[in-house]
Structure 1
Amino acid sequence: MLALKLTLVPSFLLAVSMSGKWWGPAIAGWLAGLPVVAGPILYLLVLQHGPSFGARAATLSLAAILASEAFNFGYAWTCRAASWRVALAVGLVAWFASASALALLPVSAAAAASSASPAWALAAAALGVGFGNAFLPRSHAVASGAPLARIDLFGRMLAGVVLTLTVTALSGRLGASWSGLLAVFPLMATVLSVSSHRAHGPEFVIALLRGMVAGRFSFGAFCLFLSFALTREPVLAAFAQAVALAVVVQGLTKCLTKGLTKGLTKGLTKGPTKALAKRLTKEPTERLAKPGVTTKPAARQACAAVPQASNGSRANASD
């Protein structure tokens, strides 16, 4: 069990971090949206406390999407006017305040057997996604393509170990609610925000945090499925199906987002430009084709000069 705690989450973090170097940023971004941190922690909680405990923890992990977006909101709106330390403090305060409110949700063992708890959690998750999409600041910054430093990679893996050991060690005292909430502690968001803020500035961080909103759907599908399946199916089968569902949802989200962005970009650039060019070329032709439309004096003089020059040339030739 200890070996799993020390290696499971860091291994996933290492794979996601190195995937950008191996297969490019598109694959790395796609993998980063999967539950690479909360998934292994929930699996360890099930092994340690049983499927019922894990189902309740998964329900709160689903609701914790709202707390994660609260962290992003606090950090994003603060980083433009303050240092990364102040922005991080504001983000963490926002996360703990939201998590404390979510811990009051009815997630008892009896409620977990019904659909009441997942319904509350799903509503909280939907509120978080809508809130983040509507109220996070906007930025058009793009990634600079800088390679991941070894110290940053080591920091991510170490943070993953610390979070895993903390949640699993205190899960008996904290209960399923706080264990599920802490499993979705914004570990990656914290590490990425701080390192990106220091290296690239606040606009890059804002673009990064807004990009995380699209990844919430696959994570939500993963947790929602586990909240139902853990008490009805074998543990490995439930997690395997949840992972497969998360991969499918993540792929669909990426395709839909890419298609929507491409369509909007094409419509905003090609459509008006094409219409304007057509109008600019069509209107002068129509004006000249209409009877009674006269040209400007300068144009008439230029046209009259052509025959005169031609007549002069003929006269010179005859002489």
Structure 2
Amino acid sequence: MSLIVFKLTLPPLLILAASLAGRRWGDAIGGWLVGLPLTSGPVAAFLAVQYGPDFAAAATNGSLVGTAAQACFSLGYVLIAQRGWLAALVCGTAAYALAGLLLQSLPLAHWGFFLVALAALIGAARFIPHRAAIRVTVPTPWWDLPARMLIATLIVLTLTAAAAFVGPKTAGVLASFPVFGTILAIFAHRISGATMAIQVLRGMVLALYGFATFFFVLGLLLTTAGVLPAFLAALACTLLVQTGALRLLRRGHSLKAA
């Protein structure tokens, strides 16, 4: 019963906190926040509790594949952004699916998937153009926050229940789809135009370095250090990487503004 309670409360609370922070400090920071493992992190924790550390460790490879696929999603969206949000969404989703399908079949070790994720992020950051900082919070309808919280809860419940059937790696890939980054980018695109959506996705790409670090460290330690120490170490490493990414994001904005 306690596990169900955690599944019903932890994901929506994380999404609520990240969404409110994005509204407070602007959509570029919102994109940085939604790049964190706000749904895939809880999914990994519940997989470890339900199916054991070995299963959850295997799922981290899928999450690293998902990291690379998120970079492909962002790049695909940005390349078509000037043609409208719907065409950009279709292109980004197709890029995610294709990258996830191809990369998860590679016979790589854990560190190999990590290097693939880093290479994809570097490529995406290189080709997603940097825009001048626009500190704007996109107005959203009243149902936006409840919908995000509900979606996060449904993702966690569905993937933890289906993981035994689809396998750990596929579960990791599915859990990594940028649902909330997509929502934020579409709202920004529809209300403020393609430039704002590009800013959101650039912030998300920078945040994904921390995302990749989280699952790399988690996969290394789950079967050797135990579940709780592995998650604490992964979280600590992620926060260090995220601090650097946030400084880079702010520095780039300051240079552009100057």
Q: With the length of structure 1 as denominator, give the TM-score of the two structures.
A: 0.73
Q: Which moved more, 1:185-194 or 1:130-139?
A: 130-139
TM, length-normalised to structure 2: 0.88
Out of 80, 83, 90, which is 2:82 matched to? 80
Pairs within 5 Å for 1:135-214? 135-140=127-132, 142-214=134-206
Identity, in percent, stands at: 34
CA distance in 2, matches of 1:66, 1:87: 18
**Cα distance in structure 2, aligned partners of 1:146 and 1:56:** 38
Q: Tell which structure's C-alpha radius of gyration is larger.
A: 1
Contact 1:16–1:31 (CA under 8 A) maintained in structure 2: yes
Aligned Cα root-mean-square deviation (Å): 2.4
Q: Which residue of 1 aligns with 2:66?
A: 64
Q: CA offset at residue 122 of structure 1? A: 1.4
Q: Report what 1:89 is aligned to.
A: 90
Q: Is the 8 A contact 1:105 1:120 kept in 2?
A: no
Runs of 4+ in 1 over 6 A off after TM superposition: none
- Cα deviation 1:241-268 (Å, max 9, x = unaligned): 2111111221123234444665x569xx
Q: Is the CA contact 1:141–1:203 (under 8 Å) kept in the aligned structure 2? A: no
Once the two structures are overlaid, the 10-residue window that deviates more, 32-41 or 48-57, is 32-41
- Note closer, same or farther for the CA distance 1:144–1:72 as it changes in structure 2 (3 Å cut): same
CA-to-aligned-CA distance 1:167-199 (integer Å, 9 cap, x gap): 112111110110111121111221112211222
For 1:55 and 1:222, locate their aligned partners in 2 and report how far apart those are by CA, in whole Å: 12
Contact 2:35 2:205 in 1 (8 A): no
| Displacement of 1:229 | 0.4
Q: Distance in 2 between matches of 1:185 and 1:59?
A: 14
Deviations 1:269-294 (A, max 9, x none): 6xxxxxxxxxxxxxxxxxxxxxxxxx
Instruction: Give the alignment partner of residue 16 of structure 1, picking from 9, 15, 18.
Output: 18
> How many Å separate the matches in 1 of 2:127 and 2:31?
23
Mapped contact 2:125–2:202 kept (Cα < 8 A): yes
Contact 2:19 2:30 (8 Å CA) reproduced:
yes
- The secondary structure found in structure 2 opposite 1:150 is coil
What does residue 100 of structure 2 align with? 99
CA contact (8 A) 2:111 2:216 kept: no
Unpaired runs of 5+ residues, structure 1, are 107-115, 270-319
Rounded to whole Å, the distance in 2 between the matches of 1:229 and 1:36 is 20
